[in-house]
């Protein structure tokens, strides 16, 4: 496999929208005991349920520690490919590669630098290399992303527009030596982006420092789904109102105004054992071939959120999977999945 010295944009590659056809979905089996604690068995079941739901629509490959392969295979059942690779934990969106395409059937990957969300956790060396291991296994060209970056920090429309938050991408805990302009240039070159829409903050107590995939995503060209609390006294309400104002003032890469569709925040305000808020969001869903696999939280807004997201993707079947046991670990369904676009691996 060749490690490309150039940026993807130099070779005409770009990140496609998540609703474009997929070859497979990648996941990583829960591993870090210090994160999951006594919830780890519940996390196993929740991840397996997500994998099986997605496998109705497209192939799923589950990475796991080699010594846990038998247990993962038993929990996931037939139809889920088990891929033994050493990992530290289970957030494929952030530790896996970002796949880019040439628009002619070729696919490559960007392997970014990783520091566990601003050194929120220690012992992430294997997760920092899992993206490279995946691309090696696929025999796919690898571009070395020149900064610390996580897939959950962005959403793209496939036509040159990217959503992100200032709280995350400009945070000193990621790339303190880079200016805003330098970060924008790297994102543009490595994802084929021509316009960045900067939102302000993510959710309260989000340990990723404001990943956009908990609050907003593209649901088509010129259309954005936005997380929105119903309670105006909720700290997230002011944050999302600011983000809505920025979206309404923005234009996409084609000069279009953005249609903003609000998706309600779960009503239940759940807390972790240390008092921090448990981050739950319906925006954090996976777009599969012909389906949407989205979270439910045993919440009064589960049904309304499914209806709104289903209306945004009328050609896809909406499947809800209970996700509170995933949220305990710090994310939801989008966080634990990574789509590989359909196409042949580019090797040179």
Counted domains in the chain: 1
Structural contact between residues 260 and 249, judged by C-beta atoms closer than 8 angstroms: no
Structure tokens at 221: 């060209």
Bridge-based pairing of strands 22-28 and 3-4 is unpaired
The CATH code of the domain that includes 51 is 3.75.10.10
Contacts of 251 (CB under 8 A, 6+ apart): 195, 257, 258
DSSP 176-218: TT--HHHHHHHHHHHHT-SEEEEE----TT-TTSS-GGGTEEE
Catalytic residue among 76, 168, 279, 335: 335
Judge if pTM exceeds 0.85: yes
- Residue 102's alpha-carbon distances to 8, 96, 111, 116, in angstroms, are 9, 19, 17, 30
Q: 96: closest CA among 339, 344, 342, 295?
A: 339
Q: What is the token pair recorded at 194? A: 């021509």
Angle at 22 between CA 89 and CA 163, to 5 degrees: 70
Q: What distance lies between CA 29 and its chain's CA centroid?
A: 16
Rg (CA), the chain: 18
| Per-residue CA distances from 202 to 199, 207, 210, 237 (Å) | 8, 10, 4, 11
The two three-digit tokens of residue 213, written as one number: 């995939």
> What's the pLDDT at 4?
53
Helix intervals (H) in 56-165? 69-76, 92-95, 116-119, 127-138
Residue 119 CB-density burial (10 A; 0-12 exposed, 13-18 middle, 19+ buried):
exposed
Residue 1's pLDDT is what?
A: 44
Evaluate whether 265 touches 195 at the Cβ level (below 8 Å): no
Quote the strand ranges of 268-307, DSSP E.
286-288, 291-296
Domain limits at 220? 3-345
Nearest to 322 by CA among 312, 307, 332, 314: 332
pLDDT tens digits for range 93-118: 999 999 999 999 999 999 999 999 99
Cα–Cα dist 243/118, whole Å: 23
Alpha-carbon gap, residue 191 to 210, rounded angstroms: 20
Quick one: CA torsion of 330, 223, 55, 44, rounded to 10 degrees? 10
Q: Which residues of 309-329 are buried (b: 16+ CB within 10 A; e: fewer)?
A: beebbeebebbbbbbbbbbbb
SS3 27: strand
pLDDT in tens, the chain (348 residues): 445 569 999 999 999 999 999 999 999 999 888 888 889 999 999 999 999 999 999 999 999 999 999 999 999 999 999 999 999 999 999 999 999 999 999 999 999 999 999 999 999 999 999 999 999 999 999 999 999 999 999 999 999 999 999 999 999 999 999 999 999 999 999 999 999 999 999 999 999 999 999 999 999 999 999 999 999 999 999 999 999 999 999 999 999 999 999 999 999 989 887 889 999 999 999 999 999 999 999 999 999 999 999 999 999 999 999 999 999 999 999 999 999 999 999 986
Tokens of 24: 């497979």
DSSP, residue by residue, 237-260: HHHHHHHHHHHHH-B-TTSPBPEE
64 flagged as catalytic: no
Q: Cβ distance 254 to 159 under 8 Å?
A: yes
């Amino acid at each position: 496999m060749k490690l490309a010295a150039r940026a993807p944009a130099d070779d005409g590659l770009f990140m496609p929208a998540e609703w474009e056809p997929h070859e497979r979905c990648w996941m990583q089996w829960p591993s870090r005991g210090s994160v999951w604690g006594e919830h780890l068995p519940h996390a196993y079941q929740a991840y397996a349920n997500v994998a099986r739901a997605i496998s109705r629509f497209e192939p799923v490959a589950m990475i796991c520690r080699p010594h846990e392969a038998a247990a993962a295979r038993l929990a996931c059942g037939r139809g889920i490919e088990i891929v033994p690779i050493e990992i530290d934990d289970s957030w494929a969106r952030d530790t896996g590669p970002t796949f880019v395409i040439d628009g002619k059937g070729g696919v490559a990957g960007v392997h970014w630098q990783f520091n566990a969300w601003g050194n929120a956790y220690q012992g992430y060396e294997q997760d920092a290399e899992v993206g490279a291991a995946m691309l090696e296994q696929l025999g796919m060209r690898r571009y070395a992303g020149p900064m610390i970056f996580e897939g959950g920090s962005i959403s793209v429309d496939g036509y040159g527009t990217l959503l992100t938050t200032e709280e995350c991408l400009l945070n000193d805990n990621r790339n303190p030596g880079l200016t805003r302009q330098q970060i924008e240039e790297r994102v543009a070159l490595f994802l084929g982006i021509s316009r960045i829409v900067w939102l302000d903050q993510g959710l309260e107590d989000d340990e990723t420092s404001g990943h956009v995939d908990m609050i907003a995503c593209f649901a088509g060209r010129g259309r954005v789904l936005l997380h929105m609390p119903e309670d105006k006294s909720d700290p997230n309400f002011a944050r999302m109102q600011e983000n809505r104002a920025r979206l309404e003032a923005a234009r996409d890469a084609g000069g279009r105004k953005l249609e903003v569709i609000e998706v309600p925040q779960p009503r239940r305000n759940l807390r972790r054992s240390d008092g921090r808020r448990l981050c739950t969001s319906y925006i954090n869903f996976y777009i599969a071939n012909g389906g949407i696999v989205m979270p439910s939280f045993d919440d009064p807004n589960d049904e309304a959120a499914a209806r709104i997201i289903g209306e945004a993707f009328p050609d896809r079947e909406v499947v809800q999977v209970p996700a509170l046991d995933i949220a305990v670990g710090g994310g939801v369904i989008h966080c634990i999945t990574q789509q590989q676009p359909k196409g042949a691996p580019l090797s040179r």
